[in-house]
Structure 1
Amino acid sequence: MLVFSQLLNGLQYGVLLFLLAAGLTLVFGIMSFVNLAHGALYMMGAYFAALTFKHTESLTLAFAAAVFGSILLGIVLERLAVSKLYSRDHLDHVLVTFGLVLFFNEVVQILWGTQPYFLPVPSWLDSTISIFGVTYPAYRFAIIVVGLLVAVGAHALIHRTRLGMLIRAGSVNPRMVGALGVNIKFLNALLFALGAGLAGLAGVMASPILAIQSGMGDHVLITTLVVIVIGGIGSVSGAFYAALIVGVVDTMGRAFLPLIFRGFMERDLANAAGPAVASMLIYVLMAVVLAMRPHGLFAPNRG
């Protein structure tokens, strides 16, 4: 029962990572733009939700504000800064977007202070459900469902629509697509806004179970980058499978490594060493994947 419960926790963490990784892999893999500010968009989505709820006490409006506020912020950033960097090298992308991370972290501290905000769980999900005899929080299960729906929607968008066809073609040969009359600048702006919206959705979905505070997107961005490297840069389906793998590996490691270490070391030392070793597992996994498949487990076919 404990193993199954932790497996569900790993899946829940994995789909949250996927919500971030899906948007980031669209921007990074398809547009070839390194967007370190993606974690800041995740943070801003959470803040948009918390502030909207504070003034309206409506969770529906809070969730809408997170998604559409992040999309609007993404459009503004793309228009003012990102669009001017597409022709520059990746180092310029890193420097500018890292500067945006520092900017947004300072802005939220200046405007809303350093005290964390919290968003309540929706009342209709503030309960537990039984899954194969295991009691599990309904809201965490809802996160899994939302992540699966986003995965299906993203796959359908990329592989079953004309827009998806243009996105895939533009990622291979943007000049040729532009020569055929497609507005590549608009397509890039749309992709960036879509990625921002998914980051905002991840932020608001995580808000009832995590503290909303400055810098909350920094650590999760690193894990998200690990996900897209393992899955294959530019592959949305790869990001989904890799996010589930990383989520389960990280959660299982943190839950069971301390128990394993207690078999041959003192309890206090095992409790300290277990989480430390668990935090390294996903990086070891990434190293193994890169050694065996340098382009990732599910790298898209560019041929």
Structure 2
Amino acid sequence: MTMTHARAIFAVFALFPLFAATPVTAAPASPPSGAPRVDYHQHLVSPAFSRIVSLPVFDAAALIRRMDEAGVERAVVLSTGYSMADERKGLPDPDRLTREENDWTSAEVAGSGGRLVGFCGVNPLRDDALREIRRCLALPGMIGLKLHFGNSGVSLRNPRHLARMEEIFAAAGAAGAPVLVHMRARGGENFGGPDAALFIEHLLPRAAGSDVIVAHFGGAGPGYPEQADEVMAVFAAAVARHDPRLRRTWFDMATIFTPESSDEDAQRIARRIRQIGPSRTLYGSDLLVAPGMPSIGQTWGLITTRLGLSRSELRQIAGNRLSFIR
């Protein structure tokens, strides 16, 4: 990768903090162990969002074409409505923009012939968040909730934020709505194992009736930093002691292993997969039209060839299908 290319990618994500991407180098185009049945971490780009982040519009039809190329049956589409209420963007009337983004996502997934399911996006710290969750979950095709702690400025170490997140998780649990959570705090500061402990103690019990997916193996991507591994160590210990609060908790691998990841990264990721179990490990690829993002086949190819997982472990991950998407 040239320095010019690297600066271009950095410039895009300086404006677009909710996603991160690693430029693609050589990677297997065809997964040797069979494609994953479900991509649990996908996004679309609406016309409104396209103007904000300077990315091309990416609708349901375009995503399904990418899925067909890779042999993926279904995908979970995470509305970027939460990003509209990121105060750093300074957008006017963010609650209206959040509603409109959720409405657009609903229309796209509802027209996918059952290939896509939608998760509502809200900034949980907004006064309107609970009302919008209830409204959005009633929209066609919208069955779950996406929370992005970093984008929304949430820190579980802040008592006020923690209490608010208990409210949000209780609402999801009462609705039986699955929740996908980008746990990493804004900027990655003051974040690590203690946050996973707070998540287990305070939030998982509130959503006991729902599946909860921890995105990016506790980090943000690209890559798998020490902080994410600290988070996963806490979750792995809870799994090892058969903590009942993790009965319906899962972990997606979106963007954690890249072409530039080291053999040491591969070993750490494989160790955590085996500790939490392949049955709790979900495939996800993230926004496919962000600069430098690998294709679904390329990311799965990296997982199948470089993590050192057995064929049975890979088959389990590729075949994992949670109840909300059956």
What TM-score, normalized by structure 1, do the two folds share? Answer: 0.27
Q: Which structure has the highest helix share of the two?
A: 1
Using CA pairs under 8 Å that are at least 6 residues apart, name the structure with larger relative contact order, 1 or 2. 1
TM-score by length of 2: 0.25
Bigger radius of gyration among the two: 1
